[in-house]
Structure 1
Amino acid sequence: MNAPAQNAAPSARNNARLELVGLRRSFGAYNALDGIDLAIDPGEFIALLGPSGCGKSTALNCIAGLLALSGGEIRLGGNRIDQLEPEKRGFGMVFQSYALFPHMSVRKNVGFGLAMQGIKGAEADRRINDALALVRLESQADKLPGQLSGGQQQRVAIARAVVIRPPVVLMDEPLSNLDAKLRLEMRAEIRGIHDQIGSTTIYVTHDQDEALSLADRIVVMSQGHIEQIGSPKDLYQRPVNLNVADFMGFRTRIPGRVVAVKGDEAQIEAAGARLTGRMRTPVEVGEAAVLCVRPEDLVAVSGEGIPASVSSMEYRGRAFFGLAKSPDGSDLYFRADEALPRGAVAVLQPVAERSLVFKGTAL
């Protein structure tokens, strides 16, 4: 007979599909969620991405049962769960602030959910040991949270969430309190844990890099609505509108007028230059349009382009990145091989194949 596997990862209790149907949540006259529809397959990693106030944390708290719905339904495996109390939904939750009990040891913090479920003795010990092994904290089991680093405390919070074998793990900006190095390390930890346990994960963040590196699909939200749902590659390369483009890193938005259209490319006259980009919405000659470009794709050149006055420069290791003002007052975030003095005139040219053209005016 084979010996039992050691340190086996906690496994999800079921593989049920999670559905949000017409989710609404109002605070007085303010609609924080205004008709959210989203279907999440078992085992998916979903990132809810957007700026502060877009409704992403409200949506997470509604799913968790911490906020009651103003309308709509939440279904798990086809069964409505939105009227169940939070503890009866069986979801794991990881908070931004860790929310650990300071007077309890790491082991007792991790086992708290099991105790609430009435799981004790050898079964509880086995699950706690497995969860601690998953987050590599076996040696810290008897310490108090205050004796741990921020990254270790977040690992305890994750172990506590997964030890109950939840069908869904909810994470509300769990890395925002960590320094840059720890955030990068914990990204890999979180994705690895997700892959091992098999639970569905819903992860709230305002950081596009986190969403791109972690998620199977990204849900971009704005003002209580879903703007776009897609794979990281889809959203990075093909945002559907100016709001999504702005949040996916297209920081420079140059308003102009369309002067030529050929295939999927449009040329606009803007900021004293003619600029080319790929159309993301249909445009016609003579219409107002906006060219959007990321800082790394707006380059200081010696040839033709946008003449702009340099406002600031910073060094980021492999290149210099700067902010300049165009003749029409647009902010231009650009890349250069060398530092340029404040007030110098730089000629900037967007990389056409990585620039996007949208119909309308700038945000």
Structure 2
Amino acid sequence: MLGIIIGVAAVIIMISVGQGASKRISDQISSMGSNLLMIYPGASAGPMRGGTGSVNTLTLEDAEAIGELPLVANSVPELSTSGNVQYGNQTWTSTVDGTTPEMQEIKQWTLISGSFFTGEDVANTGMVAVIGSTVAENLFSSGIDPVGEKITINKLGFTVIGVLDSKGAAMMGQDQDDMIYVPITTVQTRMVGSKNVRTINVQAETENSMTYVQSNIEELLRQRHRIADAAENDFNVRNLTSVLEAMETATGTMTMLLASIAAVSLLVGGIGIMNIMLVSVTERTKEIGLRMAVGATESNIRNQFLVESLVLCLAGGFAGILLGAVGASLISKFAGWNTYVTFYSILLSAGFSALIGIFFGYYPAKKASGMDPIEALRFEK
């Protein structure tokens, strides 16, 4: 049974680690917004070539034009810069992200206190800021509500009007709460001195319309940027749904690989049970002969040994399930990994252990049922 216990526990733990990683990736991409397309500036061409984002080709007007396309729910530009933030004698370095009020809607952010800035703040290059929970913790003492307080960012005065609820780490490990959001026009005119934007977030009305919206965006931007038919785009459109599907496929493959490696323990355990049952058949030869002599049929003997093998495997399987669930919980607690024990993994392990009991128990059971009763009664150890 020990081989089955270890094998089942290993399979459950490996699957739970893989499922946990997949769920974390899915949650992180979902937290970036639903039905979301992200547009980045393109790569630079010529002798000094650069990668994606090396040339600023997107503008606030591009974002406004995209917002007028069919089936586009929101079009939200972003322009980020680094900011040295000060409140009283407390200082902090954070990322300042210029955007529009629709950002809160597409990201589905909630606020601990205060409110997000408005379209009027964007139009008037308002000196207002919405801060993440990490910024609030490092600038303000406990008990102080940041809303209404004055802070300076790169020596410019801002009024805090809202504090966002915690969002945790992003896909690449960045702290999503170490951010300050201000009107994009304020960043453009007073902090960066640029009319361009670094990213445009486009939310489609439905998931099914994302391909159609993406095609329309590419056609519109090529027209606005006057790109010749044979020339490459000076922008990149990324579909987060496609990214999610690719990552889920990769984590699913890794999960199955880990589970397959762990399943070797189940195979070894099954061979061990077959050997033990063969020894049991030899040890109980006279018992088998006696049962046959008083009327037991071959099927009676075969079923007896099959049931014994099946019970051993199922008992080991259930013990392995408990051990695997506890092991996954301990890994999550002490190693900090996300683990997620699914009903699918439990059902797979229980079914696999039963299958092994039947498969590896059949040969000893067949051997026992095929004995000659007279020879069995004469058998001496």
How high is the TM-score relative to the length of structure 2?
A: 0.24
Higher relative contact order (CA 8 A, sep 6+): 2
- Give the structure with the larger strand fraction: 1
More helix by share: 2
